[in-house]
């Protein structure tokens, strides 16, 4: 099978898209943007061995490749609309590709995203997605908008993906049922797009948690010239991780704060918005938890219920670490 057969067979699928003038198959795709909307652009490269294991199921890989990009849109409050995918693979295996593309298009369809560009080449397991989303003009959840006294919230449960990875790497063990929950989170993160859109009118700053909460919230603090206090005992996770005697606090804190791969949102909002945020979370069927407060200190302070200060050994995932 040649590159062109591949593109024809799998990527050239018709999708309903009112703004799409010309889809895949020319030197470029053409989009006619809606007036009154801003466009959001983000790109992510996933490399085999670093961001995923190359024996991953094609369905899981397809999900992750798109979902991590949708998560960037969610963090802006943007609705993902179009994606471009580049793939380097050592060989083109018919069955593998069918499973990969079916899962990719299923997720794209679920989020109303059209694939408008693709490049395939021989190489060693690299996937790159560029995602384009939209928000109503001048609305966006930016990192530089946190305000003194804001509540700090996170979505979903943190630390599951990192715990699953540690099991995979034989650094720890978990009961099978707990591991299954963690592994599902690691392999199939659910982008918080619906909540992101709701937060456009409610939150100040937002960011997705892909490299670990401690590192990622620091981007907000730096951009907004503020500090934060977070109570680590409030960070939502699986009770089986939280309450187990099997783990040292340092291990648990690593998962919750620095493990990475959570693809949840951390956002800040005025305390006056608490009820509205809970209602929005309900509409988006996404759990949210208040874990701290924006302070004047310009630093991130981690405390526990007892009021003790927590020190992290590593802040988060460094892509060249």
Annotated binding-site residues for Mg(2+) read 27, 42-44, 72, 119, 208, 211
Report the residue from 11, 75, 193, 221 that binds its own copies according to the rule CB under 8 A. Answer: 75
Residue 3 in the binding site for its own copies (CB under 8 A)? yes
Residue 95 in the binding site for its own copies (CB under 8 A)? no
Give 134-190 as a DSSP string. EEETT---BGGG--TT-EEEEES--SHHHHHHHHHTTS----HHHHHHHHHHHHS--
Region near its own copies per CB under 8 A, out of 136-144, 150-158, 246-254, 278-286:
136-144
Residue 18 in the binding site for its own copies (CB under 8 A)? no
Interface residues for its own copies in 212-271 (CB under 8 A)?
Answer: 223
| Measured CA distances, 72 to 25, 123, 192, 209, 210 (Å) | 27, 26, 9, 9, 9
Residue closer to its own copies, measured from CB, 38 or 102: 38
Nearest to 70 by CA among 46, 51, 44: 44
Residue closer to its own copies, measured from CB, 121 or 308: 121
* Shortest Å distance, C-beta 23 to its own copies: 10
Burial 134-144 (b: 16+ CB within 10 A, else e): bbbeeebbbbe
Residue 66 in the binding site for its own copies (CB under 8 A)? no
Report the residue from 14, 16, 18, 27 that binds its own copies according to the rule CB under 8 A. Answer: 27
Q: Which helix (H) or strand (E) holds 41?
A: strand 37-47
Tokens of residue 182, six digits: 């963690």
Q: How many CA atoms lie within 13 A of 160 on its CB side?
A: 25
Residues binding its own copies (CB under 8 A): 1-4, 6, 21-22, 25-33, 35, 38-45, 47, 50-51, 72-73, 75-76, 78, 82, 84-88, 91-92, 116-124, 126, 128, 130-133, 135, 137, 140, 142-144, 206-208, 223, 318-321
């Amino acid at each position: 099978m040649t590159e062109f057969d591949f593109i024809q067979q799998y990527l050239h699928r018709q999708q309903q898209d009112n703004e799409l003038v010309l889809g895949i198959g020319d030197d470029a795709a053409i989009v006619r943007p809606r007036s009154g909307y801003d466009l959001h652009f983000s790109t992510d490269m996933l490399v085999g061995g670093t961001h995923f294991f190359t024996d991953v199921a094609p369905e899981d890989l397809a999900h992750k490749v798109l979902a991590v990009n949708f998560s960037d849109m969610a963090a802006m409050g943007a609705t993902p609309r179009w994606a471009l995918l580049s793939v380097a693979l050592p060989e083109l295996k018919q069955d593998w590709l069918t499973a990969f593309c079916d899962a990719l298009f299923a997720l794209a369809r679920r989020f109303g995203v059209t694939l408008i560009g693709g490049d395939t080449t021989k190489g060693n397991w690299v996937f790159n997605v560029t995602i384009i989303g939209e928000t109503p003009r001048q609305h966006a959840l930016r990192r530089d908008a946190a305000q003194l006294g804001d509540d700090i919230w996170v979505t979903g449960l943190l630390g599951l993906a990192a715990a699953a990875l540690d099991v995979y790497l034989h650094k720890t063990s978990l009961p099978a049922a707990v591991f299954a929950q963690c592994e599902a989170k690691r392999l199939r993160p659910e982008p918080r797009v619906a909540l992101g859109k709701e937060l456009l009118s409610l939150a100040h700053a937002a960011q997705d948690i892909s490299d670990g909460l401690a590192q990622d919230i620091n981007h907000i603090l730096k951009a907004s010239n503020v500090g934060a206090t977070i109570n680590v005992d409030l960070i939502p996770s699986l009770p089986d991780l939280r309450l187990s005697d099997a783990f040292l606090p340092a291990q648990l804190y690593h998962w919750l704060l620095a493990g990475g791969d959570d693809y949840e949102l951390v956002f800040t909002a005025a305390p006056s918005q608490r009820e509205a945020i809970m209602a929005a979370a309900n509409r988006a069927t996404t759990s949210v938890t208040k874990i701290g407060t924006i302070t004047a200190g310009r630093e991130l302070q981690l405390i526990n219920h007892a009021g003790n200060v927590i020190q992290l050994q590593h802040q988060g995932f460094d892509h060249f670490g």
